[in-house]
């Protein structure tokens, strides 16, 4: 049996490649409003930042701006209507989840995405190995980078923080993990920006591919 008690994953940009649908929704929104359609490659790095990051990068509209609430509502409606049809597990992730399942190691999701949207996405993916817990951005009093949602997941799993790493593709994930006492692991295949590279996040480990986690998960965690 693997020595780790459990593992937590961020959702967008770590477990699932949701950028095609997230960026696609922004492009559809621009098209519907007669605006310049932003390029996919420019918006992909912002996919982990949800509506605030994507709408800011695409249109320069920030949450403090008067037009933001209406624009956000339109974006979320279009995103939901797309039905997550282009979102997929990252290559190698299904094999990793299968390995955890065979070793009876529970895994969970801690995301800033709402629970409803997260559940819709997971239903579309029809994972053969479902998560043991799902903590969304609206599950607790605060979202990442607060450690509160990570702590909630640890409580639901009934595992020790130091024996349950959190894998994520954003600095917020590292801050949340460290605040909860979990090992902070960075997924380099995710949606980070060039001006904020993973090497600067103070993560305990950096992974280029999901397969690289297997050898580490076979090693005892440091107590």
Active site residues: 10
How many residues can be counted in the chain? 223
Q: What is the DSSP letter of 136?
A: -
Give me Rg for the CA atoms of the chain: 17
Compute the distance between CA of residue 64 and CA of residue 84 in angstroms, rounded to an integer.
28
Q: Could you give phi then psi for residue 215, rounded to 5 degrees?
A: -65, -35
How far apart are the C-alpha atoms of 193 and 10, rounded to whole Å?
17
Tell me the C-alpha distance between 5 and 161, whole Å: 9
CA-to-CA distance for 217 and 9, rounded, in angstroms? 14
- Please give the helix or strand (H or E) that residue 207 lies within, else none: strand 205-207
């Amino acid at each position: 049996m693997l020595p780790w008690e459990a593992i937590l994953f961020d959702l967008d940009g770590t477990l699932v490649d949701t950028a095609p649908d997230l960026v696609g929704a922004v492009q559809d929104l621009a098209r519907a409003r007669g605006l310049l359609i932003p390029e996919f490659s420019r918006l992909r790095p912002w996919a982990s930042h949800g509506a605030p990051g994507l709408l800011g990068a695409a249109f320069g509209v920030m949450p403090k701006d008067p037009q933001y609430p209406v624009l956000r509502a339109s974006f979320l409606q279009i995103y939901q209507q797309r039905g997550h049809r282009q979102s997929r597990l990252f290559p190698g992730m299904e094999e990793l989840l299968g390995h955890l399942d065979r070793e009876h190691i529970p895994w969970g999701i801690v995301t800033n995405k709402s629970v409803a949207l997260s559940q819709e996405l997971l239903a579309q993916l029809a994972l053969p190995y479902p998560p043991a817990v799902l903590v969304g951005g609206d599950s607790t009093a605060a979202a990442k980078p607060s450690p509160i949602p990570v702590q909630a997941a640890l409580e639901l799993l009934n595992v020790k923080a130091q024996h349950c790493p959190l894998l994520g593709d954003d600095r917020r994930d590292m801050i949340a993990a460290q605040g909860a006492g979990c090992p902070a692991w960075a997924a380099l295949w995710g949606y980070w920006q060039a001006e904020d590279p993973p090497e600067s996040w103070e993560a305990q480990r950096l992974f280029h591919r999901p397969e690289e986690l297997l050898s580490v998960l076979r090693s005892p965690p440091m107590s």
